[in-house]
Amino acid sequence: MLLFYSLYMPNTRSTTMEEELNKDDFRIAIFGSARIQREDDVYQDTTKLAQKLASEGVDIVSGGGPGLMEAANLGQVLSKNPNTDSIGLTIELPFENSGNKYLNVKKHFQKFSNRLDHFMELSNAVVVMPGGIGTCLEFFYTLQLTQVKHICHIPIILVGGMWKELHEWILAYPVGSGLASIEDLDNVFPVEHIEDAFTIIMKTKKEFEAGGTDACMLAMKNKFS
């Protein structure tokens, strides 16, 4: 159970966003609902995935708020890996205007558009956990930018059964009607379990490290300056 996790101290290492953007770290963004509670299985799965990734040297990026965003940042803290960061890109909302307590890098935004671009600037892969309209926006924005090559062809990993029919709809209608190409979905991976997401991310990390500073996944740093 993760109910005792609030007893853990937050990440106390402080880094500015400008410093973070100048690093060549491997980072993943984890998107998901702000409404999911700690006792839910998907909260625990998100924390486990983030903890496992941070233990392998992966920085964790989230929207910095409650729910699955908190679960992701909590996972980084629980990894106790001093060489990774817990990054939160918070947004001004009537019901959500402060970050969770598990962040050591934080940037606050007034507009979704600027925030989305920072997600893309930071992330070498994205994991889409169950979520609502905001999570769908983050998924489709990432897919759009990879489609038109405004960012690298980073993996987009859809975790859980709720995304299965959406993925099938994209294949059946936009692709099936000739309004999108099947190749546009080459980087979209629907999976059932977090273990599958972990495997894809670690393979991507290995490719990132083999590519060195010329790797495509680092090129996105200059896209939104």
User: Which pTM value belongs to this model?
Assistant: 0.90
pLDDT, one tens digit per residue, over 114-137 is 999 999 999 999 999 999 999 999
Confidence of residue 22 (pLDDT cuts 50, 70, 90): confident
Helix (H) and strand (E) counts in the chain: 8, 7
Say whether pLDDT at 81 is over 80. yes
| CA-based nearest residue to 107, from 93, 90, 92 | 90
Domain boundaries defined on the chain: 19-159+187-222
Amino acid at 179: L
Q: Which residue has the higher pLDDT, 18 or 14?
A: 18
Lowest mean pLDDT segment, chosen from 70-74, 134-138, 164-168, 209-213? 209-213
Architecture of domain 19-159+187-222: 3-Layer(aba) Sandwich (3.40)
Lowest mean pLDDT segment, chosen from 23-37, 96-110, 164-178? 96-110
